[in-house]
């Protein structure tokens, strides 16, 4: 934690700057319930004590995930001139290690919990996600309801989240199974190259999103089934595919890109984790979009399609899917990765030569 102690004192969680970072839909549920706030305070204090002693807790439920997220990323705290009274140590954003903070957060919070918190912040999902469920003729409290924030996150909870997400916003390709047509394959290819370079620099973050299963140095951009595809190989013999395509926003009724997926829940979890990662890399993402990215409208649609809108009127669609590895794809990844390493070597040599010339001048 940057070599400094972390403290969250007793009064700080009651301060509006802290509570204001909880999703609005959750605050509406707990605003008049001091017992819930006390329990959240206790969770925050326990985690703060662990961090203070140098222990790195990994969130196991939504309460811990929310507390850690507030502590590490609170915009309200960053805007304050002095937060020492709230029990936080403010760090300058130009510290050499500042890029490590998002990685620290991902190391502390599993991607599925980040996914759930982000969905609770989205007005289109929150009300549906917090409503009781009708199961076998009886109402059951939603697993995302604040009363259940301290329950360990389970595979059943993740599956419910995926089902709720797709039922709230049905994927367009369910009603239009004829398939997706890329409105700008050349543009998609160029954008895919920029995105790949960005992600290639974030291999450690991608490994955290894959729960440590990323096969190191096996990240590449290939062309597959007429799509420009970013491929991440994992150590379990599967590939996470990110297929890049363009859609004219005037034709938003078009079906979303779709391809066979062996693990839709895992793909959806990775898509939301990828959204979280890219949201931390806005300056680099702006370079890919040449400044035309509409930051406020980044979203996940159809379960596992990341939508990145451009001010020029198109959406860049990143369709995520998980498939078993094939010999042909593995060979293509090896070749593409070798090409990438050679390309980087040539760039490094050009920069070194340029620096040498500047030094002589």
CB-CB contact of 275 with 285 (8 Å): no
Give the C-alpha separation, 240 to 266, whole Å. Answer: 9
* Residue 136 binned pLDDT confidence (cut-offs 50, 70, 90): low
Better pLDDT: 85 or 148: 148
CA–CA distance from 356 to each of 347, 352, 353 (Å)? 14, 6, 5
Give the C-alpha separation, 339 to 335, whole Å. Answer: 6
CB-CB contact of 247 with 255 (8 Å): no
The predicted structure's pLDDT at residue 126: 78
- What does the pLDDT look like over 238-265, one tens digit per residue? 999 999 999 988 876 778 888 899 998 8
User: Is residue 304 predicted with pLDDT exceeding 80?
Assistant: yes
The first and second tokens of residue 322, run together, are 């998980």
The predicted structure's pLDDT at residue 165: 67
The predicted structure's pLDDT at residue 84: 40
- What does the pLDDT look like over 306-315, one tens digit per residue? 999 988 888 9
Q: What average pLDDT does range 41-45 have in this prediction?
A: 82
CA–CA distance from 11 to each of 37, 80, 121, 286 (Å)? 11, 17, 25, 39
The predicted structure's pLDDT at residue 32: 78
User: Is residue 177 predicted with pLDDT exceeding 60?
Assistant: no
Strands (E), 132-289: 133-135, 138-140, 214-224, 227-234, 238-248
């Amino acid at each position: 934690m940057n070599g400094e102690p972390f403290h969250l004192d007793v009064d700080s969680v009651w301060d509006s700057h802290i509570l204001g970072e909880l999703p609005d839909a959750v605050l509406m549920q707990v605003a008049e319930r001091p017992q819930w706030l006390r329990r959240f305070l206790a969770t925050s204090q326990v985690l703060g004590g662990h961090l203070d002693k140098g222990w790195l807790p990994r969130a196991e439920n939504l309460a811990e995930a929310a507390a850690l997220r507030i502590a590490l990323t609170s915009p309200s705290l960053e805007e304050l001139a002095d937060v020492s009274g709230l029990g936080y140590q403010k760090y300058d954003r130009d510290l050499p290690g500042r890029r490590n903070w998002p990685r620290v957060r991902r190391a502390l919070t599993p991607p599925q919990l980040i996914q759930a918190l982000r969905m609770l912040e989205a007005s289109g999902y929150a009300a549906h996600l917090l409503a009781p469920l009708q199961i076998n003729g009886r109402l059951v409290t939603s697993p995302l309801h604040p009363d259940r924030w301290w329950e360990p996150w389970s595979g059943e909870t993740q599956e419910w989240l995926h089902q709720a997400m797709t039922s709230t916003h049905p994927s367009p390709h369910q009603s239009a199974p004829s398939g997706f047509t890329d409105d700008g394959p050349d543009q998609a290819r160029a954008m895919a190259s920029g995105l790949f370079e960005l992600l290639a620099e974030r291999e450690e973050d991608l490994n955290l999103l894959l729960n440590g299963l990323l096969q190191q140095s096996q990240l590449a951009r290939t062309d597959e089934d007429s799509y420009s595809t970013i491929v991440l190989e994992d150590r379990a013999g599967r590939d996470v595919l990110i297929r890049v395509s363009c859609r004219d926003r005037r034709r938003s009724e078009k079906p979303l890109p779709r391809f066979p997926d062996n693990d839709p829940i895992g793909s959806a979890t990775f898509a939301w984790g990828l959204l979280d990662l890219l949201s931390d890399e806005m300056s680099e993402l702006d370079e890919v979009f040449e400044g035309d990215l509409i930051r406020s409208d980044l979203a996940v649609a159809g379960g596992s399609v990341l939508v990145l809108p451009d001010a020029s009127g198109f959406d860049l669609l990143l369709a995520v899917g998980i498939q078993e590895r094939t010999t042909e794809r593995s060979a293509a990844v090896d070749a593409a990765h070798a090409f990438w390493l050679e390309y980087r070597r040539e760039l490094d040599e050009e920069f070194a030569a340029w620096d040498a010339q500047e030094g002589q001048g």
